[in-house]
Amino acid sequence: MSEIDPSFKGRREDFRFVTGRGRFTNDWNFDGQVHACFRRADRAHAVIKSIDTGAAEKSPGVLAVLTGRDVANEPFATVPPIAPPPGRGGQGIIMPERPVLARERVRFVGEEVAVVVAETAAAARDAAESINIGYEDLPVVIGVERALEAPAIHDNIPGNVCFEFEYGDEQKTNDAFARADGVVSLTAESPRVAPTPMEVRGAVVTYDAASDSYDIYAPNQGGPAFRKDLAVMSGVAPERLRVRMLDVGGAFGARTNPFPEYPVLMLLARKLGRPVKFLSTRSDDFLTDNHGRAIVLRGELAYVKDGRFLALRTDWLCDSGAYLSAAGVLTNSINGMFVGAGCYQVEALYGRHRQLMTNTAPTNAYRGAGRPEANYIVERLVDEAAAKLKIDPFKLRMRNLIKKKQMPYQTLTGARFDSGDFPALAAKVREVSEWDRFATRRRASRKAKKLRGIGCALFVEPSGGGGIKKDEVAALFDRDGTVVLHNVAGPSGQGHETVFPEMMARWLGVDVERIILKSGDPDGPALVGNPAIGSRSGMSQGSAYKVAAEIVIEKATTLAADALEAHPDDITFADGVFTIAGTDRRITMREVIDRNIGEGAHPLDTIAERAISQAFPSGAHVAEVEIDPDTGATQVLRYTAVDDIGTVINRTLADGQLVGGIVQSAGHVFGENCQYEPADGQLVTASFMDYCVPRADLVPGITTVDLGVASPNNPLGAKGVGEAGSSGALPACMNAVADALRSAGVTHFDLPATPARIWAALAVAKPR
């Protein structure tokens, strides 16, 4: 409790962070600790002809040098990717094996080839650089279009297509297109992005010979899921692994699963009998953190004369990279299926997704995980149709939206939208954004010789669910009266330490300062549940805490009745007080807790569970931009977000998640892009000098409005918020840019909307 200052009014964890008391991976150090450094491939595709480690082994302070050949007989294994429903023709995913240290070939720049352990990090780094590797270069495959026609990167994946997924009715969709009065089509790219969390990747591993067990200190989004995958990778039984939850400096999907370095560190800790620390560099992270997005989207929208939509057809080409991550194929398949035609009614729909192997870093679920792309292609097509039909984009949307009275809505692809009011979202964002006054603002920009554009986007997305079918939580009562909450989802900025104790304090009627959260404590109760992914923690684990609170209240009612010498049926509970009905005799929950503290377990100790459920948050966003045609520079002038995230549990935290997602996708629109050199596969944006992350002035003013409809699928009525901003901002910002450019004669423009690309597009459309 000493880490919490009652006078600090922000998130509870913020006090620890702003006073420098956070404990991240590099803050963990142990007696006798040694340091590991990995030598990585400097080319994208090559046969390893030789590895000379002689100089490294003789370097000062070096304790061990390992290559792929040295670990070939270890029980290391590749974690199978999470399987979506069967693909086209019933096929499954074709999985390439990924060695923890490359043996015969390297397949992307940055792949781990060897590791050096030394007494200091500097000594390990110097020795790693002295390893001499002989390569024979092979053809490099960069980009999904090239992958479709290039030789196979993996012998077991012909044509480089590891999975093909489809949904909807192809024939019915083709028939609808055949009788359409009009069709708009679009090819758009969602460029590859790097997660770039503030904290670089790293781990510390200690080994205890007496118990033959390991402690792993590494940033993660949920200890049990992380431990399960690490057990597969290392060949060590999960009960011999303790994954310690740390403060995590950002995740965005890049901290869900273990990386190949971690089982190697375990092996080294056991062989050397000393703790081993590994800390990557920022360049390492750019090269090897699982990237996000990297999708080419082809879409067609068919409609009749009055603008009513008939059918939607999409084709996704997804760049999986050189190896498969745990969730990349899954999220790039099913989330497109869940979103389908978005917020609109169509008669037919067909989607096809192909997952392709290239000589690049693997891609994984990244904030939004296919949701932004699914909504992006739909919303871009709707704006294209509005421009072609010369209809106000909002009027066209209103004509086709799913109505509130149709909820719950069964989509053509099998999703069930639990609740929502899409027309109300659209009407509200139109009002708050002052859409109808835009023409006046555009005229003012023209006088200043600027191009002004406005873009709207509606979206719907799945949240919740999870690979583990239930979430368990615990509420334990310490001898000092503290209520200790336990769960498995690892926070990385969401505010779990604040919101879960707040919720429990409200339900139990006790002082929140006497409730603390311990996420993923391996020394606490053994719980199962899902990591902090998919906009699910508040909704799913929060609902489990609601169940726990009800059980605690039921137990406490019996204890209160005993204290009051009454029958439990005569006891009522409200606002933290137990009362004998019809009397003024009472006892507080706090008093019940304190009077039952003893030497053993507290009688109110509770472990509760709740089966996973799903909900569909939605929203309507409007972005307004101004472009300087002389430089191509774009400024976001106004941004309005009206969201339905169901019941809002904590407004401040919800706004933080929404704003964070909006800015993250705005960064994607206006500059973030991992660019590989096609000829040799070198990543040319491998530092913050070359990779443009969003900054504070990118979206200076964001107006958020809540228009929530409670979800019937969980006791909180919540729907999830973590990815909502990213799903709305991608199409809203790009539609605004396209609107501005359209006014200057640019008929098609694609991401990223950098000044140079915008300037070039304007120069072609309107020569100087």
- The answer to whether 541 and 222 are in contact (CB under 8 A) is no
Q: Are residues 500 and 596 in the same domain?
A: yes
Displacement of CA 124 from its chain's centroid (Å): 33
**Alpha-carbon gap, residue 189 to 368, rounded angstroms:** 16
Of 29-43, 79-93, 540-554, minimum mean pLDDT range = 79-93
Please check whether residues 632 and 692 belong to one and the same domain.
yes
Q: Are residue 501 and residue 590 in the same domain, yes or no? A: yes
Q: Name the percent of the chain lying above pLDDT 70.
A: 98
pLDDT value, residue 767: 55
| pLDDT given at position 245 | 78
Ramachandran quadrant class, 307 (left: phi over 0; alpha: psi -120 to 50; beta: rest): left
In a domain, 261, yes or no: yes
Phi, psi of 487 (to 5 degrees): -155, 175
- Comparing 5-9, 86-90, 451-455, the range with the smallest average pLDDT is 5-9
| Tokens 């929530």 sit on residue | 708
**What local confidence, expressed as pLDDT, does residue 490 receive?**
83
Average pLDDT of the residues in 46-57: 98
Q: How many domains does the chain fold into?
A: 3
pLDDT of residue 6: 46
Q: Is residue 272 part of a domain?
A: yes
Alpha helices in 289-435 (DSSP H): 328-339, 371-389, 393-400, 422-432
Tell me, yes or no, whether 65 lies in a domain: no
The string of DSSP codes covering 666-683 is: HHHHHT----B-TTT--B
Q: Which two tokens stand for residue 707?
A: 């228009």
Q: Given a cut of 80, is residue 766 above it in pLDDT?
A: no
Specify whether 476 is located in the same domain as 593.
Answer: yes
Token duo for residue 509: 């009627």
Last residue of a domain, one of 611, 640, 672: 611
Residues 173-218 pLDDT 10s:
999 999 999 999 999 999 999 999 999 999 999 999 999 999 999 9
Domain boundary among 585, 611, 637: 611
- 404 inside domain: no
Do residues 679 and 761 share a domain?
A: yes
Do 698 and 761 sit in the same domain of this protein?
yes
Q: Containing H/E element for 761? A: helix 755-765
Handedness of CA 559, 560, 563, 566 (dihedral sign): negative
Strands (E), 304-377: 309-321, 348-357
Separation of alpha carbons 551 and 554, rounded Å = 5
Both 587 and 514 in a single domain? yes
**Tokens 């003012």 -> residue:** 444
Domain region containing 549: 470-611
Which DSSP state fits 637? E
**For 463-473, how does the pLDDT look when each residue is reduced to its tens digit (9 = 90+)?**
998 888 999 99
Query: How far is residue 414's CA from residue 71's CA, in Å, rounded to a whole number?
Result: 46
Among 226, 254, 279, where does a domain finish?
Answer: 279
Query: 705: helix, coil or strand?
Result: strand
Q: Please check whether residues 484 and 458 belong to one and the same domain.
A: no
- The predicted model gives 106-113 an average pLDDT of 98
Question: Bridge partners of 703?
Answer: 640
Nearest CA to 305 among 175, 178, 181? 181
User: What is the domain-level CATH number for residue 13?
Assistant: 3.30.365.10
**Span 133-153, average pLDDT:** 97
Q: What is the mean pLDDT of the chain?
A: 94
Is the same domain home to 496 and 522?
yes
Q: Which tokens sit at 163?
A: 């999975």
* Phi/psi of residue 16, nearest 5 degrees: -65, -40
Q: What is the distance between the terminal CA atoms of the chain, rounded to a whole angstrom? A: 66
Which DSSP string do the residues of 12-38 spell out, in sequence order?
HHHHHHHTT----GGG---TT-EEEEE
Q: Is the pLDDT of residue 164 over 50?
A: yes
| Domain co-membership, 576 together with 685 | no
In a domain, 140, yes or no: no
Q: Is the pLDDT of residue 9 over 70?
A: no
pLDDT band at 7 (very low <50, low <70, confident <90, very high): very low
pLDDT band at 491 (very low <50, low <70, confident <90, very high): confident
Does the structure show a pLDDT above 90 at 306?
Answer: yes
Cis amide prior to 752 (ω within 30 degrees): yes
Kindly state whether residues 620 and 756 are assigned to the same domain. Answer: yes
Same domain, 605 and 618: no
pLDDT digits (tens, 9 = 90+) for 608-659: 999 999 999 999 999 999 999 999 999 999 999 999 999 999 998 999 999 9
Q: What is the pLDDT of residues 658-684, one digit of tens each?
A: 999 999 999 999 999 999 999 999 999
* Of residues 599 and 428, more confidently modeled: 428
Q: How far is CA 46 from the centre of its chain?
A: 32
Q: Is residue 366 part of a domain?
A: no
Q: Give the C-alpha separation, 162 to 153, whole Å.
A: 11
Rg (CA), the chain: 27
Q: What is the pLDDT of residues 372-426, one digit of tens each?
A: 999 999 999 999 999 999 999 999 999 999 999 999 999 999 999 999 999 999 9
Mean pLDDT for the stretch of residues 568-587: 95
Band of residue 700 on the pLDDT scale cut at 50, 70, 90: confident
Predicted TM-score (pTM) of the model is 0.94
Any idea which of 26-35, 263-272, 342-351, 693-702 has the lowest mean pLDDT?
693-702
Between helix 724-742 and helix 371-389 the angle, nearest 10°, is 30
